[in-house]
Structure 1
Amino acid sequence: MKPLTTAAKITLAALLSITATGAVLAQNSPAPPAKVTAATPPPKLVVVIAVDQFSADLFAEYRSHFTGGLARLASGVVFPAGYQSHGATETCPGHSTILTGNHPAHTGIIANNYFDLSVSRDDKRVYCAEDETVAGTTSGSGKYAASVNHLLVPTLGDWMKAANPKAQVVSVAGKDRAAIMMGGHKADELMWLVPTGLTSYRGTELSPTAQRAGAAIAAAIAQPRPGVQMPADCASRDIAIPIGDQTGGKGGATVGTGRFQRDGGDFRRFLASPEADGAVLAAGAALRQARGLGEGDTTDLLILGLSATDYIGHGTGTEGSEMCIQMLALDRELGDFFARLDATGIDYVVALTADHGGHDLPERNRQNAWPAAERVDKALDPDAMGKAVAEKLGLPQPLLYSDGPFGDMYLSKALTVAQRKAAMTELLARYRAHPQVEAVVTGEELARYPISKRSPDVWTLMDKLRASYNAQRSGDFIVVLKPRVTPIPESGMGYVATHGSVWDYDRRVPILFWRKGLAGFEQPNAVMTVDILPTLASVIGVPLDAGKIDGRCLDLLSGPESSCR
C-alpha cells in the first residue's frame, strides 16, 4: 500500500512537544513479550477508544488496507460482529453503553435529544449531555451547559475510583457527549474540541497541559490547509456524486472527491477531517505523559473519542474517497499513538469500538446496485404531521414534539384524556399507513415488554426498541422507518447521510481488544458493547455489582483459561 501523505495533519510529535519532555521511541527490537495468562497481573493502563460511526461494514471493507494501529488491533482479540444492540443508534446513546455495561433503557440516554414537556423552554428539547436547569441556556449547539447529570449509571472510571480513589481517569474527545458519556461522573480531566482548542464543563479550568494542547490545536485550526494527496488505494472511490446545492436545490454540488482542504479558522471542516482525530490522540498522549498515567501503583484509564469518521460520514457519505482517506489516516494516527505508548514500556490494554454504524447516501447507493435506497418523504415531518392532525381534530397546538421524522414522538401535555386518545388514534393511523414506515410502537407497549437476554443478532424489532426505552424520558410512541430510508429529505446544509435506525447497518460495530502478549483470536458470534465494561473490569480486577449491568464478561484468553474472574 502506498503510504498516505497529507499536508492537513496534526502530528503526534508536534503536539507532544508541548510537554516538558517528549517520549523517546525505542531504538532496539524489544524482547518477545510474555504470554498473557489468567495469572498475569492487571495492566497498568486501560485505553478505551470509540471511533464515531466506525461501522462493522467499514472495518470489514478496509481491514486488508490497514498497516498501522488498526492493523495491530485486528491482530488481537477481534469481535467483528459487535452490536450497539438498541434501536436508537445515535451518538449519545451509543457512547453511554460503551463503559457503563448498560443499555440506554438503563443509562437514561435514549437519544441525542429528548423532550421534557415540563421544562420552561418553548421547544421543550433537552440535549443528552446538558444541565437544562442552568438559567439562560437552551439545547441548541453551543448554547447549553454541558453536564453528566442525565447519565443514570456509573462508568468504568466511576467503578475504578470506587475501588481505588487513586486511580486516574482522563477523557478526551471530539464531541462533548462522547467525552462525558464515557468519562462518567468522577473523571480527573474531561475535555472536548471547540474552535478555541479544548474545553470542559463551565467553571472548570483546564490543566496546564490541556491548556497548551488546546492552544496548539487552536493554532492548527487557524491555519489554512491544502488538500491531501490521494492514496492509490482510494482511487477507485474517487467518483463525484451529485447532491444538488447546499439548500436542497438542483445545483452542481457533489461529494465523493473531497481532499479536506479548508480555509483558516474553519472549525467545521477541521472536525470533518483526519486532523480532528490527530488532535484528540495527541492531546490524550500529552495528558497521559503529564499525569503519568500507567506509571503508578494503580491501573489508570485513558478514554479517547474520535469523531472525524462521523462528521465525514454525515457530510460526504461512507463510500467516497473522503472516507477512504479518513480510514487510512485513522490507521496511521493510531499507529503513531501506540508507538508512543510502546516507548514508555507501560503494560497497557486497548479496547476499541464505535457508538453506532452508518449508512451511505442514497444517491450513491442507487449507483452501486441498491436502487431502492431513498430519502424520507417530507410528509413525515413531525411538525407538519402534528399540525394536520390538530387542525382536523380541533386540538391545541403544538400537538406533537419530535427531533425528526422517526424515533420518539411526544404528545402535548395540554390535552385532555379524550383529546389524547383521539390524537393518538389519528397519528398512529397516519404514520402506519405511510409506505416508508415499518412500524409504530407505543410507549405503553414497550413498558410491558422485557429487555431481551438473547444474542443481539436475533433481536426482534420490539427487542431493539425496548433496549432504548426509558419510561421517564421516551416518547408516547416511536416511529420506525423502513430499511434504507435516509431520514434526511434533502441533501443539504452539510449533511447527506446519517444513522439512528434499528437496522443492522447502524447497529453493527467492531469490538477489538489488544494487549502485548495477549494471543489473538477472532470470534464472529454476536457480542454487545455493553459487554466491554465487565470485560475490562475483570481484566483489571475491579469488582462490579452484576445486578446493575446488562452486559457480560468476554473471555479474552484463547484456550481453557479465562480472563473472566
Structure 2
Amino acid sequence: MTTALAAALCVAGASASLAQDAPAPVQNAPAAKVTAATTPPKLLIMIAVDQFSADLFAQYRGHFTGGLARLASGVVFPSGYQAHGATETCPGHSTILTGSHPSRTGIIANNYFDLSTPRADKRLYCAEDESVADTASGSGKYAPSVKHLLVPTLGDLMKARDPKAQVVSVAGKDRAAIMMGGHQADELMWLFPGGLTSYRGITLSPTATQAGTAIAAAIAQSRPGLTLPADCAAQDIAIPIGDKGGTVGTGRLARDGGDFRRFMASPEADGAVLAAGAALRQARKLGEGDTTDLLILGLSATDYVGHGTGTEGTEMCLQMAGLDRELGDFFARLDATGIDYAVALTADHGGHDLPERNRQNAWPAAERVDPALGPDALGKAVAEKLGLPQPLLYGDAPFGDFYLSKALTPAQRKAAMAEITTRLRAHHQVEAVVTGEELAAHPVSKRAPDVWNLMDKLRASYNAARSGDFIVVLKPRVTPIPESGLGYVATHGSVWDYDRRVPMLFWRKGLAGFEQPNAVMTVDILPTLASLIGLPVDMTKIDGRCLDLISGPESSCR
C-alpha cells in the first residue's frame, strides 16, 4: 500500500463522522448463483486505466495476484475495442459511459481547431470552456468544462431517472473525470500538484479537501526507487534515447519531493485516486441508499509511464504490479462494507512501445515521424511554393485532423489541397489521406470492430462540425514524435489495433466468470451496465449494444 493511499484512507476514516447515520454494513451472505439476473447492484464502479492496452493485459495477466486477478476471474472480453481511429485520451474516455463513438459525442481528439474562434492559435481543448475570458487551450491555461461533450453519460441517465442516485467521478486527469462523469455528477475532481481540484468556482467537499491535503503531502515527499520483482528482471535493459546520453528501460520510479510529473507516473497516483474514491464512497454512503449509485475512477499512471519510458521496460513492469496491488487494496476495503457492487474496467486506448526498443526486439522497421509532416512545416512549405497566405494549415500533430485556413479563396483552397495531398500521399510514412467530404458520405459501421476498414475507423471519429478538412493516417509503427527525449518517448493515437484494442472486464460477487474472445466495443459498456440496473436506454441514440454477462440461458440484457 503506497503512502498516499494509506494517508487518504486515514482521511476516509476521519470522514466516517459524516456518515454516522449510515446503516450497519451488510454481512457477506452466500451469493445467489445468478445475482446479475435478479437484483440490481447497489453500487456500480467504472474504472478506466489510461493506456491499458489489450497487449499489456495479455502480457501481465499471468502475473496478477491482486485486483486485476479478481477482475480477470470475472467476465472477460480480451478483445475490446476503442473502435474509432482517433485513439487519444479524451475521445476514448468519451465512449466509455456514453455508448457512443466520438462522431456522436463530439470529442474527436484531445485538441481540435475552430478557425472561427478569436483565439490566435484557434485550438480548443476537448474539456474546456473557451468562452471564459483570458483562457487558452494550453496546459493550465484553460477553464475545464464538460460543454464539448454532446451526449449524456450513464450517470446523467441515472440521475434523470432518479435524482437521488449519486454520481462521483475521480481521476488522474481532468478529461478522464469529465468525459466519464458527464453533466450532472455530484462530485467531480482530478489530481493536480496541490492534491485534488475541480471546475473553477467549485468548492470541494470536506472529504475531498481532506483527501487532497493528504495527496498533496504525499506529492511533496521524495520516494526511493521501488524494488524490482524477479518477474521484471528480463526487462531491465537500458534503451538509449535522444542525443544527451539519456536512457529508459531500467527505471525504478524514484522521484524527488514535489515532482508532480513523476508522481503521476507511478502506482502512487493510482492509489491516490482509489483512496479518494473510497473516502468519498464512505462519506456519501454510496451504495447504501434506495437506488444504485455510480463511482467513476480514472487511473492515469499507466499512460504517464507509457509516454515517458515506453511499454516494455522495468518502469511498466513495476506499474503493472503496483496497479494490481492498489486495485486489490481498494476492493478489499469495499468488500468490508458488505455492499453489493459491480465493477467494469477498461481503457481509453491502447499504446505502443518506443521505436528504439522495437528495433531491438524484432521490429527493425519501427521509426519516428519525419518532422516535415507536421502541419506547421508542411503548411509553410506549400504556402511558400504557391504564394498563399500563412498560416495555411492548422493541426495538433503530424497525423489526424488538418484544417485549411479560412482566408483562402476557393481557387487557392483547391490548389492547396492538391499540393498537400500529393506531397502526403507520396511520403513513405503516410498510409492514407482522407477528406472530410469522403468521411461524411461514409456510414458509421455496424460490423464487428475487428473487421473495420480504414474508412470505418476514421468515420467513427468524424464529426462534421469539428473534424478537419482532411485526416492523415501514418503507416503502422511510425511513432508521431519526431525526436525522443526524457519524458516523452512513445505515444498512441493511430488507427492500428495496438492503439485500438483494450480489455473489458466485468466482476460482481456471485457472477460466474467466463471469457468471450470475440470483438466487442467500449461503447457497449453503457447499455450493459444500464441493463444491469434496469435503466432504459434509447438504443437509437447510441452506438453500442448490451453484452450478456451471464453464462448460460439467462441473460443480463433486458
TM-score over 0.5 for the pair: yes
RMSD: 1.7
User: What pairs with 1:158-197 in structure 2 (closer than 5 Å)?
Assistant: 158-197=156-195
The answer to whether structure 1 residue 362 and structure 2 residue 362 are counterparts is no
- Aligned residue in 2 for 1:450: 443
For 2:538 and 2:195, the matched residues in 1 are separated by 38
For 1:329 and 1:335, the matched residues in 2 are separated by 10
* Residue identity opposite 2:110 in structure 1: N
For 1:339 and 1:9, the matched residues in 2 are separated by 13
- Aligned residue in 2 for 1:421: 414
The answer to whether structure 1 residue 375 and structure 2 residue 371 are counterparts is no
Q: Deviation at 1:31?
A: 5.0
Moved more, 7-16 or 296-305: 7-16
CA contact 2:249–2:314 (8 Å) conserved in 1:
yes
Of 27, 44, 52, the match for 2:42:
44
- Aligned residue in 2 for 1:144: 142
- The CA deviation string for residues 428-473 of structure 1, in whole angstroms up to 9 with x for no partner, is 1111110000000000000000000000000000000000000000
- Aligned residue in 2 for 1:495: 488
Q: Deviation at 1:356?
A: 0.1
CA contact 1:313–1:323 (8 Å) conserved in 2:
yes
- Aligned residue in 2 for 1:214: 212
- The CA deviation string for residues 188-230 of structure 1, in whole angstroms up to 9 with x for no partner, is 0000001000000000000000000000000111111111111
* Residue identity opposite 1:334 in structure 2: L
- The CA deviation string for residues 175-200 of structure 1, in whole angstroms up to 9 with x for no partner, is 00000000000000000001000000
For 1:86 and 1:52, the matched residues in 2 are separated by 16
- Aligned residue in 2 for 1:234: 232
CA contact 1:89–1:507 (8 Å) conserved in 2:
yes
Closer, same or farther: CA 128–294 of 1 in aligned 2, 3 Å: same
Give the length in aligned residue pairs: 554
User: What pairs with 1:22-421 in structure 2 (closer than 5 Å)?
Assistant: 31-37=29-35, 39-244=37-242, 250-421=243-414
Q: Secondary structure at the match of 1:424?
A: helix
* Residue identity opposite 1:141 in structure 2: S
CA contact 1:172–1:305 (8 Å) conserved in 2:
yes
Closer, same or farther: CA 38–497 of 1 in aligned 2, 3 Å: closer
Moved more, 11-20 or 510-519: 11-20
- Aligned residue in 1 for 2:426: 433
* Residue identity opposite 2:362 in structure 1: A
Of 12, 16, 24, the match for 1:16:
12
For 2:14 and 2:459, the matched residues in 1 are separated by 47
For 1:240 and 1:8, the matched residues in 2 are separated by 29
CA contact 1:12–1:337 (8 Å) conserved in 2:
no
Closer, same or farther: CA 124–547 of 1 in aligned 2, 3 Å: same
For 2:6 and 2:29, the matched residues in 1 are separated by 32
- Aligned residue in 1 for 2:544: 551
TM-score calculated relative to the size of structure 2: 0.97
* Residue identity opposite 2:174 in structure 1: D
For 1:170 and 1:468, the matched residues in 2 are separated by 27
For 1:387 and 1:121, the matched residues in 2 are separated by 20
Q: Secondary structure at the match of 1:92?
A: helix
For 2:486 and 2:119, the matched residues in 1 are separated by 25
* Residue identity opposite 1:534 in structure 2: P
* Residue identity opposite 1:326 in structure 2: Q
CA contact 2:2–2:271 (8 Å) conserved in 1:
no
CA contact 2:61–2:69 (8 Å) conserved in 1:
yes
Q: Deviation at 1:379?
A: 1.4
CA contact 1:294–1:300 (8 Å) conserved in 2:
yes
The answer to whether structure 1 residue 476 and structure 2 residue 469 are counterparts is yes
CA contact 2:5–2:274 (8 Å) conserved in 1:
no
For 1:124 and 1:215, the matched residues in 2 are separated by 36
CA contact 1:406–1:480 (8 Å) conserved in 2:
yes
For 1:223 and 1:553, the matched residues in 2 are separated by 45
For 1:231 and 1:15, the matched residues in 2 are separated by 31
CA contact 1:10–1:275 (8 Å) conserved in 2:
no
CA contact 1:7–1:225 (8 Å) conserved in 2:
no
For 1:506 and 1:21, the matched residues in 2 are separated by 45
* Residue identity opposite 2:419 in structure 1: E
CA contact 2:8–2:211 (8 Å) conserved in 1:
no
Q: Deviation at 1:259?
A: 1.0
Structure 2's unaligned 5+ residue stretches are: none
For 2:394 and 2:9, the matched residues in 1 are separated by 48
Q: Deviation at 1:15?
A: 4.6
For 2:451 and 2:254, the matched residues in 1 are separated by 43
* Residue identity opposite 1:83 in structure 2: Y
Q: Secondary structure at the match of 2:188?
A: strand
Q: Deviation at 1:18?
A: 4.0
- Aligned residue in 2 for 1:247: none
For 1:556 and 1:456, the matched residues in 2 are separated by 20
CA contact 1:18–1:213 (8 Å) conserved in 2:
no
CA contact 1:37–1:561 (8 Å) conserved in 2:
no
* Residue identity opposite 1:421 in structure 2: K
For 1:434 and 1:174, the matched residues in 2 are separated by 38
For 2:232 and 2:127, the matched residues in 1 are separated by 37
Q: Secondary structure at the match of 1:20?
A: helix
* Residue identity opposite 1:506 in structure 2: D
User: What pairs with 1:453-532 in structure 2 (closer than 5 Å)?
Assistant: 453-492=446-485, 494-532=487-525
Closer, same or farther: CA 10–404 of 1 in aligned 2, 3 Å: farther
Q: Deviation at 1:36?
A: 2.1
* Residue identity opposite 1:345 in structure 2: G
* Residue identity opposite 2:194 in structure 1: T
Q: Deviation at 1:11?
A: 6.2
CA contact 1:12–1:336 (8 Å) conserved in 2:
no
Q: Deviation at 1:516?
A: 0.3
